[in-house]
């Protein structure tokens, strides 16, 4: 499949980092038996992947800036373009030998996503999108699911855990969603959650507390597959509210209405 020179640069960086992560993932599987667990090893793998991606993208677009999960903001000479990168999304899955994690590389121009790559090196699933150019899984064009009723839908989400998130507020949201859909799924990688929504595997997705590097590429992926992505109020204040809701126009709307019921003070 012919990709743009920009996407080729992003795909090459993701695949190069993916080769290292696949090797490290094989080692992590062996380390599960150790009492201490592979935490330090995974942190090193995460940083190695970020370094590979940084060096590849810097070589190809020297003037662009970076927002990377591990190293934060790296200013570029070009104030318009910034790479938004999570070198390993789904760290806990990786740590536990669960094969659902991804490299997420987004490119934003004037604060808006214009290109995205989400790559699971274990399954070799490469999700790509470019503004106005559609979304793809490997060489197949993606469309969001066509279901119109939330009752028939499977909804992806992210669940708070020890030390993370507002448990009470989330449980109120989950209570509303689970009572009005065919199933809820928690994969463990927000980037893959959005890519799967773009691919129609999930009919909708919502999560609170995500960071720009978790979702920049995935937001574009869903929109280029014909879906909608907003904050929980249906507005474009995803970063400010740290809420994200995605789906086709019917499910996106119904999911927002359902979540609002959990937020309305009784």
- Nearest residue to Ca ion by CB is 89
Q: Which does 189 bind (CB under 5 to 8 A by kind): Ca ion, ligand IPD, none?
A: ligand IPD
Residue closer to Ca ion by CB (options 3, 15) is 15
Residue closer to ligand IPD by CB (options 110, 162) is 162
CB of 208 to ligand IPD, least distance (A): 9
CB of 100 to ligand IPD, least distance (A): 9
CB of 50 to ligand IPD, least distance (A): 11
114 secondary structure, DSSP code: E
Q: Which does 188 bind (CB under 5 to 8 A by kind): ligand IPD, Ca ion, none?
A: ligand IPD
CB of 148 to ligand IPD, least distance (A): 27
Q: Which does 210 bind (CB under 5 to 8 A by kind): ligand IPD, Ca ion, none?
A: ligand IPD
Residue closer to ligand IPD by CB (options 91, 216) is 91
In this structure, what token pair is assigned to residue 35?
């009492």
Query: How far is C-alpha 237 from the geometric centre of its chain's CA atoms?
Result: 17
Alpha carbon distance 61, 45 (integer Å) = 24
Residue closer to ligand IPD by CB (options 90, 247) is 90
Residues near Ca ion (CB under 5 A) are: 69, 86, 88-89, 214
Alpha carbon distance 136, 223 (integer Å) = 12
- What stretches of 32-166 show up as alpha helix (H) in DSSP? 39-60, 91-95
Closest alpha carbon to 228 in 261, 257, 204, 207: 204
CA-to-CA dists, residue 235 to 44, 50, 243, 256, angstroms: 38, 32, 10, 11
Query: How far is C-alpha 116 from the geometric centre of its chain's CA atoms?
Result: 10
Residues near ligand IPD (CB under 6 A) are: 86, 89-91, 158, 188-190, 207, 209-210, 214
Closest alpha carbon to 52 in 15, 7, 77, 8: 15
CB of 17 to Ca ion, least distance (A): 12
* Paired strand residues for 128: 117, 136
């Amino acid at each position: 499949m012919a990709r743009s020179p920009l996407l080729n640069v992003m795909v090459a960086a993701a695949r190069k980092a993916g080769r290292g992560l696949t090797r490290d993932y094989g080692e992590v599987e062996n380390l599960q038996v150790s009492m201490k667990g592979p935490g330090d090893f995974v942190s090193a793998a995460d940083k190695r992947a970020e370094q590979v991606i940084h060096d590849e993208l810097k070589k190809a677009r020297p003037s662009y800036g970076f927002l990377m999960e591990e190293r934060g903001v790296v200013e570029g000479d070009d104030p318009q373009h910034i790479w938004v990168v999570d070198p390993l999304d789904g760290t806990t899955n990786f740590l536990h030998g669960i094969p659902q994690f991804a490299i997420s590389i987004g490119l934003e121009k004037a604060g808006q996503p214009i290109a995205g790559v989400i790559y699971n090196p274990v399954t070799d699933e490469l999700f790509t999108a470019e503004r106005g150019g559609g979304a793809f899984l490997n060489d197949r064009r993606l469309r969001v699911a066509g279901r119109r009723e939330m009752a028939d839908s499977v909804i992806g989400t992210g669940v708070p855990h020890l030390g993370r998130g507002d448990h009470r507020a989330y449980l109120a949201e989950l209570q509303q969603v689970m009572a009005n859909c065919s199933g809820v799924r928690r994969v463990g990688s927000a980037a893959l959650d959005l890519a799967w929504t773009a691919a129609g595997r999930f009919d909708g997705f919502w999560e609170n507390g995500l960071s720009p590097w978790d979702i920049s590429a995935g937001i574009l992926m869903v929109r280029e597959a014909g879906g909608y992505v907003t904050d929980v109020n249906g507005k474009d204040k995803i970063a400010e509210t740290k809420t994200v809701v995605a789906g086709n126009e019917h499910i996106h709307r119904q999911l927002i209405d359902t979540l609002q019921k959990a937020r309305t003070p009784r």
